Amino acid sequence: MPLLRCLCLLALLLALPVGAAELKIDLGGGLTTLDSAQLAARKDARTITIADDVSYKGTMRYRAVPLKQLLPGIDLGDHLQFVADDGFVAEIPATLILNTRGAEAWLAVEEPTQPWPAMPGKAVSAGPFYVVWTHPEAAKVGPEQWPYQLMTIREQQDVVVRFPAIAPDLTLPAESPIRHGFDVFQRNCFACHTLNGEGDARLGPDLNVPHNPTEYLRADLLRVYVRDPQSLRHWPQAKMPGFDVSVLSEEDLDALLAYLHHMAGRKSSH
């Protein structure tokens, strides 16, 4: 029996192309696993050019597949989660992937025989799988919606349903800047941070427990920190990017800080 098991394991390893990586997709109907060789060879795969790549800070060319073609049956009201190898978790509504405004999401595939270069300032590439966008400005796609080193895509319930402790006071008026700040938080912060102990990301610290940043940083310094973390305290190993006005407007930053200040009074024991 041990010999038989070894032979079966060897057969499985030989069946996977040398150097091929696997991507797991779960849309609620069972887990699908695709490897990089299969994806690169698909009929709808093509070579695309990304003029202003978020991770590489310049022009890149990729073998890529239209992302929506890998997500059959998703509807506008669905919510998708993209889990990366480093603990980054992007929460992206299906409306963004299915948008008709001109932005298109692609799954870039790092082919084993054509590895990508290391990202600037990092020792690793964005591979083996990386969500990239053509014409992202058309749908206001932010940099946190370009997950790289992707491992898993899964359909999930809406963020507030899964993590109610991150929501602001439900009695706030719809036009409240705090509500707007909550949207900004989900789009730009929740991919790396938890809040009140809730969330799936494991890249950065919790933003409310034991202390909210509005409790230990002056408002002006907190603004500086969000814009350029290294300008406040230089740390070569830090992973937090800066959010300039092209990504986070002054209005969005005001709203985000209002949300964080509001949540400092809504700590949870989770």
Could you tell me which residues come within 8 angstroms of residue 221 by beta carbon, excluding any fewer than 6 positions away?
232
Q: Could you tell me which residues come within 8 angstroms of residue 171 by beta carbon, excluding any fewer than 6 positions away?
A: none
| Residue recorded with tokens 């009140």 | 196
Residue-wise pLDDT tens digits, 108-153: 999 988 999 999 988 999 999 999 999 999 999 999 999 999 999 9
- Of 235, 221, 227, the C-alpha closest to 252 is 227
Low-confidence ranges of the chain (pLDDT < 50): 1, 6-17
Let me know: does 195 contact 263? Beta carbons within 8 Å: yes
Residues 6+ positions from 159 with CB-CB distance below 8 Å: 79, 91, 166, 186, 190
Positive or negative, the Cα torsion across 202, 92, 145, 261? negative
H/E element, 49: strand 46-50
- The SS3 of residue 13 is helix
Q: Is 31 helix (H, G, I), strand (E, B) or coil?
A: strand
Residue 2: predicted pLDDT: 52
pTM score: 0.83
Res 7: pLDDT: 46
Q: Calculate the CA 53 to chain-centre distance.
A: 15
Residues ≥6 apart with Cβ < 8 Å to 264:
208, 212, 214, 215
In this structure, how many other beta carbons lie within 10 angstroms of the beta carbon of residue 119? 19
pLDDT at 238: 72
Map residue 84 onto helix, strand or coil. strand
Residue 201: alpha-carbon gap to chain centroid: 9
What are the tokens at 265?
């009074």
Q: Please give the pLDDT value at position 240.
A: 86
Q: Which domains does the chain have, with CATH numbers?
A: 18-156 (3.90.420.10), 160-264 (2.60.40.420)
Within a 10 A sphere around the Cβ of 16, how many other Cβ atoms?
14
Decide if 149 contacts 126 (C-beta within 8 A). Answer: yes
Is it true that the peptide bond before 210 is cis, omega within 30 degrees of 0? Answer: yes
